[in-house]
Amino acid sequence: MISEKDLEWLKWNYPGVYYVPTKGILQGCLWFKMNYSFLTGEGVINPPDEMNLENSLTLEDAYEITIDIDAIKRKVVVREIGGRIISTKNKWKLSYADVHMYQDQTLCLCPEPEERLLFYTGFSLKHLFYDYLIPNLYYQTYLNKHGKEPWKSSGHGEMGILESYAKNKFSELNIDTIVNSYLESLAINLVNLVTSKRKIDHNLLCICDSGKMFRDCHPQGFYGLRKLYEGYWIMKTGKSNK
């Protein structure tokens, strides 16, 4: 159930998107304006007109979307129903992963454990729109125009999960909640690495099967694995197992 506070925020900020009580979803046209700095890697939603940062780009666009928020399952399902992202995929001969879309054509806004944790911090549409949805749509618009991504996006699958953990977006939550959410989404071989008393091998081969050392091939993912290992042992013993 979407709160009255969220619906009021939506009405004043994105009136093209509205609540459909009979379906229990949000739908409509989401118009956005966002500036992205290629120097700092930071994005600004609704930048002032006079904003003219060096080596940055402001994009304005609109997408027809539906949003289904399930607080019980702690899941957000977003669909772009205008066919624009599929058009980008076909135009540049990209994969579903390249356009951050699942094959059922729902958007991949973030890894599963990160999505679950959005509900532990007190779910809000503003947080969803500003930190996930609008940056994703900016990415889509840029990709459509240029055939390349505006920034280096996170990996997919388990690599994306580990890279997500490395960013430490939920420092306000207790360590047990964070670690358990991430472990729940990892394959058993990675869970065993994290929960084993044996420290993460510095020469561990990358899980992408490149044959390269994990630390060199996907350093952010390797950092996330080591950080998750440390978090698990802090959770279990109250101290790091470095």
pTM, to two decimals? 0.92
Residue 75's pLDDT is: 94
The DSSP annotation for 89-110 comes to: HHHTT--TTTTTB-TTSBB--S
Q: Which residue has the tokens 């994105």?
A: 14
Residue 219's pLDDT is: 95
Q: What is the pLDDT of residues 67-120, one digit of tens each?
A: 999 999 999 999 999 999 999 999 999 999 999 999 999 999 999 999 999 999
Residue 180's pLDDT is: 95
CA distance 168 to 49: 33
Contact 80, 63 (CB under 8 A): yes
Amino acid of residue 73: K
Tell me the torsion sign for CA atoms 15, 16, 20, 25: negative
CA distance 197 to 199: 6
CA distance 63 to 29: 5
Backbone phi, psi, residue 150, to 5°: -75, -25
Amino acid of residue 7: L
Would you give the distance in Å from CA 103 to the centre of its chain?
17
Nearest to 140 by CA among 131, 129, 130, 151: 151
Residue 240's pLDDT is: 62
The neighbour count for residue 56, using CB atoms within 10 Å, is 17
Mean pLDDT by 10 residues, the chain (242 residues): 92 97 96 95 90 85 97 94 97 96 94 93 92 98 97 91 90 91 95 91 92 95 95 85 60
Cross-strand bridge partners of residue 63: 30
Cross-strand bridge partners of residue 64: 29
Q: How many CA atoms lie within 13 A of 37 on its CB side?
A: 12
Tokens of 116: 């679950």
CA distance 198 to 208: 22
Residue spans of the domains in the chain: they are 4-146, 157-237
Q: Which residue has the tokens 């949000």?
A: 26
Nearest to 183 by CA among 146, 232, 222: 232
